[in-house]
Amino acid sequence: MKKLEIKMPKERNVINLVILIVLSINCSAQNVLEGTYARQNMPYDTYSFYKFQQDGGFEYHSGGDLGDESFGKGTYRISADTLFLDYNENTAVQLPYHKGYFWKDFTDSITIEIQVKDFEGNPIGYTNVASTENRIGIVLDSEGFGRLRLRRIEDDYDITVSFIGYESHDIKIFGTKNYRLEVFLSDCCLGSPIYEYMDTLKILEFTESHMRLKNRNGVVSEWVKNSKD
Amino acid sequence: MRIQRLGLAHFVRLTHHPPGQGSCGDASSGYSGTGWVLEVSCPNGNNSTNYFKSTDIASSSATEGCEDCESGPSGGVGVNTLGIINSLDNLCARLVFKKLKTGLFDDDPIKPEIQVPGSNIDLNLSQLILQIFNESKFINYSISNNSEFDVDSNGNYANARTQGAATTLNNEYLKTATELSIARTMIHELVHAYLNLRVSNTMIFEDGFGFIAKMEEFAKANGISDLNSNKFHHEFMGGYVKAMAYSLYEWDKLYGTGGNLGWDYYYKMATAGLSYKNEEGEYVFADSFFELFPKNSDRDDALKIHQNEKAGNKDAKGTKCD
């Protein structure tokens, strides 16, 4: 009798172990995504896709013919019927910036001496420096240097520094002061990064080659795995 | 709110802007040089005149005082003569672009609408844009292809992308599309590059500030805050559809099917890609697309044409490129 009592739990343990193994195999198959899933039924010339990696990483891109409008990277996990996308990889884009000096004199004009470079310190020749509102501006020289002379006013000038292929940079200039500025422009068109954000998508359907997801706003979308992956 | 359009282009006329006009004291620029005038006739009577120079300003101090006006348009700068860089390694696409560029300086009797009086230069919109880059001493337009964004085997990808003045065509697209579709995409992308140039390099255009003011007015009327956004580009581009269609027709007449597809076909082709991401993060067709085709049936027909030519299927009228 005692032997039987001891044996029963052992058999249960074995059965439980088998169930656990089977379950874990199933779960891992459903919890791991790999490959590129592109959203379907997009308007012509636009895209949205996720690239999932086996190690739990993912990246997201969405945009049109001007490049990515949004993008992000991070880690994903699947729990029950929900896909959690944790945008935890820093993809924040560095903004263009300027540094420099200002001083005051008492003449009826002010001068803005300006040098424009990229983030690697290379001059950006022929950059546009303009106050659109006042319809005044210059094109810098081949070394990205120039002087803009403006009428002295008791107000501000909004100056935009721009060149095709770079993010433009706006600078507020006091109309009574002279400036010597160094401006650094970043590459353009990188899109808006998604960072420090957790997205949750309900999985309505999932197969080896296809996903149907519902976002927080209730929008349902179809995603198909790239057959080349 | 529906789009308040500044006026859809009816026709495009180019006239020569002789040297010396557009004087030094002109508020819109401190430049005196040779250039061209692009007149756009609009159905609502708000005709616009856009000036652009055939060479760029190269002075570092051409400003309100016009100190350096005398130095003119080519005052002693390092000259980069690359202009247009065709780096397409897909032979068919390379030829399509080459043909788009061909005729840049040719007179052609089939282009009466855009005849340039008193000159040997005859341009259509895409050629006009290419000429701006071609003649620029410091801004290059480049076109290439890659597989960087081949993300879908079902055609859900961008055919091309233009960042600044650099266009990249998608290899996946080149595998299936017709030459006509590729020429259409190239024209569309050239307009993006042109709008980017207008926003970023205002000062190289004779009417730079005036044009920016129009762009801002349009953006404001349509609740758009960013002139560099897909939304702005594709809403504003609605006004260029006829000129784009004309460019496509010319290309097709000379190098494609012979130009016998009918104006409606070219017009519908030219409306491809007018879409943007809305505030909810969903991609939708631009209002400009609805304005150009108020009828459902016309929109559906246009979308079918876009897809047929992109897929190069049996209903496509162009010749498959690959």
A137, A142, A151 member nearest B78 (Cβ): A142
In chain A, which residue's Cα lies nearest the Cα of B271? A44
**Residues in a beta bridge with A123:** A117
| Chain B CB contacts of A50 below 8 Å | none
**Separation CA B90–CA B321 (nearest Å):** 9
Distances (CA, A) of A91 to A42, A185, B40, B216, B259: 25, 18, 43, 30, 48
Report whether pLDDT(B159) > 80.
yes
**Which of A198-207, B38-47, B104-113, B276-285 is the most confident on average?**
A198-207
Q: What is the per-residue pLDDT for A21?
A: 52
The predicted-structure confidence for A13-38, as pLDDT tens digits, reads as follows 666 655 555 444 444 446 788 999 99
CB A112 within 8 A of CB A147: yes
Domain ranges of chain B: 84-311
The predicted-structure confidence for A73-91, as pLDDT tens digits, reads as follows 999 999 989 999 999 999 9
**Separation CA B101–CA A9 (nearest Å):** 83
Min Cα–Cα distance to chain A from B107, Å = 31
Interstrand relation of B166-170 and B141-146 (parallel, antiparallel or unpaired): parallel
Answer with the residue of higher pLDDT: B71 or A194.
A194
Distances (CA, A) of B266 to A121, B128, B184: 46, 19, 9
A69, A147, A166 member nearest B61 (Cβ): A147
At a CB cut-off of 8 Å and minimum separation 6, what does A164 contact?
Answer: A188, B139, B164, B165, B193, B196, B197, B200, B201
| Chain A CB contacts of B282 below 8 Å | 219
| Chain A CB contacts of B307 below 8 Å | 44
Answer with the residue of higher pLDDT: B102 or A199.
A199
Which region holds residue A88: left if phi is over 0, alpha if psi is between -120 and 50, else beta? alpha
| Chain B CB contacts of A141 below 8 Å | 60, 77
- For chain A, the helix, strand and coil percentages under 3-state DSSP, each to the nearest 5: 15, 55, 35
- Would the CB atoms of B61 and A41 count as touching at under 8 Å? no
- Of the pLDDT bands very low, low, confident and very high (cuts 50, 70, 90), residue B135 is confident
The predicted-structure confidence for B198-244, as pLDDT tens digits, reads as follows 999 999 988 899 999 999 999 999 999 999 999 999 999 998 898 88
The mean per-residue pLDDT over the stretch B122-140 comes to 79
Q: Does A136 touch chain B (CB under 8 A)?
A: yes
- Of the pLDDT bands very low, low, confident and very high (cuts 50, 70, 90), residue A46 is confident
ipTM for this model: 0.83
Phi and psi (nearest 5°) for B146? -160, 180
**Separation CA B125–CA B241 (nearest Å):** 10
- Would the CB atoms of A64 and B188 count as touching at under 8 Å? no
- Of the pLDDT bands very low, low, confident and very high (cuts 50, 70, 90), residue B101 is confident
Q: What is the per-residue pLDDT for B250?
A: 86
Give pTM, 2 decimals: 0.79
Query: What value, to the nearest 5°, has the Cα angle with vertex B10 and ends B5 and B15?
Result: 115
In chain B, which residue's Cα lies nearest the Cα of A169? B200
Q: Does A139 touch chain B (CB under 8 A)?
A: yes
A125, A145, A164 member nearest B164 (Cβ): A164
Q: Does A153 touch chain B (CB under 8 A)?
A: no
